[in-house]
């Protein structure tokens, strides 16, 4: 495991336990290295978190094509899997604490939002195919995108997950199920 991967893993562990308010001292202590050694690999906490955000979303984007091309899945399953896709790193992200980023690091929260609203080509294509094949009713796919973005944003923008004792994945999957089931063409 590279030092950068170890730093990322330790950062996610700190975030899971302490939220965004962990310090670089906390991180160095967790890793059993000096703060100076830590700063030889990363220039600031904000840069570190930005790199993790980019890494997480790159991981998600890499998996989109594989899901879209999976012949074992129907169109609805493909759309749901892509829209609900979570990063596959070793520790995961505590989404119950992501809302803290908006308060303490608004530029990083904007970065997250940019990733969420960025690449929708594969989902648009799948939605269009589902409409053409009458799997879902004809809808404005841009409106569906806005609804899903609203769900993403609301789940990480406040304390909803903590108050309702839900994980991000549970809440997201349930919301997407509600949306997709309302769009499905029911056979008579």
Instruction: Give the confidence band of 90 by pLDDT, cuts at 50, 70, 90.
Output: very low
Q: pLDDT tens-digit profile of 144-187?
A: 999 999 998 888 866 788 888 888 889 999 999 999 999 999 87
Residue 88: predicted pLDDT: 60
Question: pTM of the prediction?
Answer: 0.82
**CATH code given to domain 3-183:** 1.10.357.10
Cβ-contact 184, 76 below 8 angstroms? yes
Q: pLDDT tens-digit profile of 4-62?
A: 989 999 998 998 888 899 999 999 999 999 999 999 999 999 999 999 989 888 888 88
Residue 187: predicted pLDDT: 76
Mean per-residue pLDDT of the chain:
90
Q: Is the pLDDT of residue 89 over 70?
A: no
Hey, where are the domains in the chain? Answer: 3-183
Which range is least confidently modeled, 17-26, 62-71, 86-95, 115-124?
A: 86-95
């Amino acid at each position: 495991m590279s030092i950068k991967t170890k730093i990322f893993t330790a950062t996610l562990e700190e975030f899971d336990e302490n939220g965004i308010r962990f310090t670089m001292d906390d991180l160095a202590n967790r890793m059993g290295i000096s703060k100076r050694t830590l700063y030889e690999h990363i220039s600031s906490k904000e840069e570190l978190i930005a790199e993790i955000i980019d890494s997480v979303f790159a991981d998600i984007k890499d998996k989109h094509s594989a899901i879209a091309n999976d012949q074992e899945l129907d169109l609805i399953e493909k759309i749901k899997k892509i829209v609900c896709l979570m990063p596959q790193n070793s520790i995961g992200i505590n989404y119950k604490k992501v809302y803290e980023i908006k308060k303490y690091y608004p530029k990083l929260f904007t970065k997250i939002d940019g990733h969420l609203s960025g690449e929708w080509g594969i989902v648009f294509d799948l939605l269009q195919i589902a409409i053409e094949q009458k799997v879902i009713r004809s809808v404005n796919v841009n409106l569906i995108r806005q609804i899903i973005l609203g769900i993403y944003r609301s789940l990480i923008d406040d304390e909803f997950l903590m108050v309702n004792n839900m994980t991000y994945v549970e809440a997201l999957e349930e919301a997407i199920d509600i949306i997709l089931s309302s769009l499905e063409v029911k056979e008579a």
